Amino acid sequence: MSMSFQNKARRTTSDDDRILPLINVVFLLLIFFMLAGHLAATDPFNVEPPTSLSETEPEKSPHVVLIGGDGQLAYDGKVLEQEALVQALTAEVDGGAVDFQLKADGGAAAVRMVEIMELMRQAGVKKVRVLTVPKAL
């Protein structure tokens, strides 16, 4: 009887032992994703940024205007109309914000982007950084 009990105990420990490599790998994956990725708030709609050869890395800025593929606008995580965008940007400029970024979909109409940049100028924005991603190799 004591024999069978011992057998059972050994079998359960070896179950744990069999899971250990799995746990090792899962921990490694966890650490990889924690360190390599960075957490970012999701955009209210999908934006596929255009690819460019630019080497300039943008500084982190909380002031990002989004333009979707169909021309819709968002700022600060909210979908906005043009008038509301101008008001929000004017308030930000009055509050001393300088670094404005524009994240436009690569398939959006360029005329629309220029229109939004005109609105930003109207709100008092002096410099705009257009966000892009490097070309995939």
Tokens 């924690």 correspond to 34
Considering the rule CB under 8 A, would residue 23 count as an interface residue with other proteins? yes
Rounded to a whole number of angstroms, the minimum distance from the CB of residue 89 to other proteins is: 11
* Binding piece for other proteins, criterion CB under 8 A, among 78-86, 90-98, 109-117: 109-117
Q: Which DSSP symbol is given to 102?
A: E
For residue 44, the 8-state DSSP code is: S
CA angle 67, 71, 76 (to 5 degrees): 35
Check residue 118 for interaction with other proteins (CB under 8 A): yes
d(C-alpha 125, C-alpha 38), whole Å: 28
Which neighbouring-strand residues pair with 51?
A: 133
The only residue of 66, 73, 80, 101 in contact with other proteins, by rule CB under 8 A: 101
Q: Return the bridge partners of 102, or none.
A: 65, 130
Indicate whether 91 belongs to the interface with other proteins (CB under 8 A).
no
Which positions lie near other proteins, rule CB under 8 A? 2, 5-6, 9-10, 12-13, 16, 19-20, 22-23, 26-27, 29-30, 33-34, 36-40, 49-58, 67, 101, 104-111, 113-115, 117-118, 120-122, 125-134
